[in-house]
């Protein structure tokens, strides 16, 4: 099951790369921005619960989809880019085994037992 789920995340990540390729940004923007959503970890400086909430909001694929759709609806390449990066980053994280966080510890994730 673990391999199947990781392969699903890989396909989603590749799909995000394809969507990025349809935008008018230079290719270097993708690797330059792909780790930016990890800024959401800054909440862990306060405590694990705040860190988990902030991390989970930034790493929720739904946020990437909503931001990307908003960009599509209003014709904003910047919002499309932000949505694609958020989605791609979340897929990449899950593909590498990093899931959404529980409130007690950064290492206690939604996919640790897969």
Residue 63 resides in a domain? yes
* Residue 66, domain extent: 2-95
Residue 89 resides in a domain? yes
| Tally of domains in the chain | 1
* pLDDT in 10s for each residue of the chain, 114 residues: 788 999 999 999 999 999 999 999 999 999 999 999 999 999 999 999 999 999 999 999 999 999 999 999 999 999 999 999 999 999 999 999 888 998 888 788 877 655
Q: Which residues 6+ apart lie within 8 Å of 67 measured at CB? A: 79, 82, 83, 86
Residue 17 resides in a domain? yes
């Amino acid at each position: 099951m673990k391999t199947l789920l990781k392969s699903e995340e890989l396909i989603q990540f590749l799909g995000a790369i394809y969507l990025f390729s349809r935008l008018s940004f230079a290719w270097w923007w993708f690797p330059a921005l792909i780790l930016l959503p990890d800024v959401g970890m800054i909440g862990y400086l306060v405590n694990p619960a705040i860190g988990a909430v902030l991390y989970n909001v930034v790493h929720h694929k739904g946020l990437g989809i909503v931001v990307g759709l908003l960009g599509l609806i209003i014709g904003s390449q910047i919002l499309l880019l932000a949505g694609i990066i958020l989605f791609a980053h979340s897929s990449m994280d899950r593909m590498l085994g990093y899931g959404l966080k529980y409130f007690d510890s950064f290492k206690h994730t939604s996919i640790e037992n897969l």
